[in-house]
Chain A
Amino acid sequence: MKKLYDILSLQFELADFESKRSDLAFCKVKASQAISLLTHLRDIHGYTHLVMLTCVDWLEDKQFQLTYLLHNYATKTDLGILVFIDRDHPVMDSLHHLWKQGRVYQRELHEMFGIDFPGSPGVEEPMILEGWQGPPPMRRDFDTKAYSDETYSHRPRVQNEPEQHMKEQLYSED
């Protein structure tokens, strides 16, 4: 994997190579070069299978980490391409022309994280949620419990902490 990384880094600006296992590695690439790197990997290096495209919200760093995981059936290795994009203006190039399922992933990310993929067919359509009015729910700053408490009703319940309860019962006057 390291060898491939060295070859690729001649052409692309890669960084932070991390070999997780002998068959799995991650590396970082600039957002502007990501799609051409993916095309390159697919066409030249045999990484023909887009395993998944997902996003990790690094709220503290104000960044989204897009992870394109590619698999090579010949060498049986996985390469994760990490792309960091700005969280406040999340826009990324689309890969729907490379893999048919790409547009579905992008549609989901648009809905769940609010990332825009210009040109991806149907990316604006809601896929999973219907009539959703809140912020994109998978973002870290969306609090699902608060939303749930506010929107739906639960049975009332009282939670007694053993430590507190024993204090009240046994030695509260101290």
Chain B
Amino acid sequence: MENLYPPIVDGKSVYDLNSQKYLKMWHGPQHPGVTGNMSLELDICGDQVIKCNTHVGYLHRGFEKLMERRRYINCFPIVCRICVPEPDTNEYLFAAAMEDLMGIEIPERAKWLRTLNLELSRLASFLMWIGGQSGAFGMGTVAQWTMAHRDFVLDLFEEWTGARIYHMYTIPGGVRGDLPEGWDKRAEKTIAAVHKLLDEINYVMLNNAIFKQRAVGLGVITPEMVDAYGVVGPNARCCGLQRDIRKDQPYLIYDQLDFIIETETAGDAYSRTVVRWKEMYQSIALIRQILAKMPRSGALHATLPNVLHLKIPKGQTYLRAESTRGEYGYFMVSDGSAFPRKVTVRGPSYTHAMALLEDLAVGVNIADLPGLMVSLHTYPPEIER
């Protein structure tokens, strides 16, 4: 079999596609194994990938262009659409970048509520991801459970913010409204159910012989690769790096909360799964802490100038936050007018799905490719925006 694979010259495979030995195959955009809407252009030899090209742009809406012609307040509803499974990070960062440029301090309670919002959406996003991860390795049962539990979390969001997916809760200047009466109790119930689910996932998925066989050693990220590829978040933590923006550059009230950075050392798909699985426990603990410590009265929203003709002083800033996928950042440039000059969104999937995946996919079986993709936790809409 060995001689089937193309020779490697200068670190690159050399082969002729027309030689009948190799095949070009498109994987996606219309493919159940592809998260979101992207496609992989594969050159395969047998069932092994020898070259992978990522194609994105199926979800390009031109957000950065649209924001240039919308008032600041009018950008607020559109930013959450950049990342569908976890919109709140976008909302928070956009609002925070605006507040940073304007020099506005938001009320203390708004900070707690924003943190709660971020953590809850982190939990929902991870639940969705773990369903994809298990589904990609053929374990539909776990996907059924996690999607249902994600829905329970979304019910909490719906009651709190008025919408399931796009909460549009973190508005520039603060938050939109308080927790409803009795929400804490229902939240605790849902969180307890998720906690129980996580314990079971340990049995069904992480200790599953098949999952272990397929995921261990798949798509290994070494610590040297991390900076070279701009790898962030759980993908960086899976190879032993203690990097978490919530600890390194605490924003909102993360410095008042007690949690640890979960790491693994192997750097493969399995350890990435474990890191995220552990992080969900952290997230649950954080939500419980917030609910226990949160101030129950106080202002929710700082007074802004009239949003209809709000102008932001000239300047530029960069704000980052730790999303489920790693560093999410907003670079906002204001030219002193009522419209943003430029808002650049740095989605963590950008580097993971483009440069990193293309290199990690080489040598992987086609059957494992969806698993590898999901284990990098990429969401295409934040790549092309």
Contacts and interface: CB of A to CB of B under 8 A. Distances in A.
Q: Do chains A and B touch in the complex (CB under 8 A)?
A: yes
Interface string B333-344: 100000001101
A129 B229 CA distance: 24
Interface string A119-152: 0000000111110000001101010110000000
Contacts of A67: 316, 331, 344
B230 A50 contact: yes
Given A20-B315, A24-B317, A145 B69 contact: yes
The SS class assigned to the A binding surface is mixed
Nearest to A129: B57
A20 B230 contact: no
A39 B228 CA distance: 12
Given A56-B342, A69-B318, A100 B355 contact: yes
Interface stretch (B58-66, B189-197, B267-275, B363-371): B58-66
A94 B367 CA distance: 36
Interface string B287-331: 000000000000000000000000000011110100000010101
Most chain A beta-carbon contacts within 10 A, residue among B100, B355, B359:
B355
Given A20-B316, A137-B65, A51 B327 contact: yes
Contacts of B248: 73, 76
Contacts of B2: none
B57 A128 contact: yes
A54 B228 contact: no
Contacts of B228: 99-100
Interface in A91-105: 99-101, 103-104
Interface residues of A, number: 37
Interface in B348-365: 350-351, 354-356, 359
B384 interface: yes
Interface string B21-35: 000000000000000
A52 B232 CA distance: 12
Given A52-B331, A129-B57, A101 B318 contact: no
A137 B62 CA distance: 8
A78 interface: yes
Contacts of A101: 229-230, 350-351, 354-356
A167 interface: no
Contact of B66 (A56, A100, A129, A144): A144
Given A100-B228, A137-B62, A140-B68, A127 B56 contact: yes
A103 B54 CA distance: 13
A136 to B, nearest CB: 11
B227 A49 contact: yes
B249 interface: yes
Interface string A44-60: 00001111101111000
A26 B316 contact: yes
A158 B227 CA distance: 54
Given A56-B341, A67-B331, A144-B62, A51 B354 contact: no
A154 B128 CA distance: 35
B66 A127 contact: no
B71 interface: no
Nearest to B335: A58
B176 interface: no
A80 interface: yes
Contact of A51 (B56, B100, B346): B346
Given A100-B359, A101-B355, A51 B318 contact: yes
Contacts of B331: 52, 54, 67, 69
A68 to B, nearest CB: 11
Nearest to A126: B57
A13 interface: no
B229 A100 contact: yes
Contacts of A6: none
A86 interface: no
A37 to B, nearest CB: 17
B62 A49 contact: no
B348 to A, nearest CB: 11
Given A80-B318, A144-B65, 19 more contacts: A20-B100, A20-B315, A21-B100, A24-B318, A51-B346, A54-B344, A76-B248, A76-B249, A78-B318, A100-B356, A100-B359, A101-B230, A101-B355, A127-B56, A127-B57, A128-B384, A144-B62, A144-B66, A144-B69
24 contacts: A20-B315, A20-B317, A20-B318, A23-B249, A51-B230, A52-B329, A54-B344, A56-B341, A56-B342, A80-B316, A100-B356, A101-B229, A101-B350, A101-B351, A103-B355, A104-B351, A126-B57, A127-B56, A128-B56, A137-B62, A137-B65, A138-B65, A144-B69, A145-B69
Interface of B: 56-57, 60, 62, 64-66, 68-69, 100, 227-230, 232, 243, 248-249, 315-318, 320, 327, 329, 331, 333, 341-342, 344, 346, 350-351, 354-356, 359, 384
Interface of A: 20-21, 23-24, 26, 48-52, 54-57, 65, 67, 69, 73, 76, 78, 80, 99-101, 103-104, 126-130, 137-138, 140, 142, 144-145
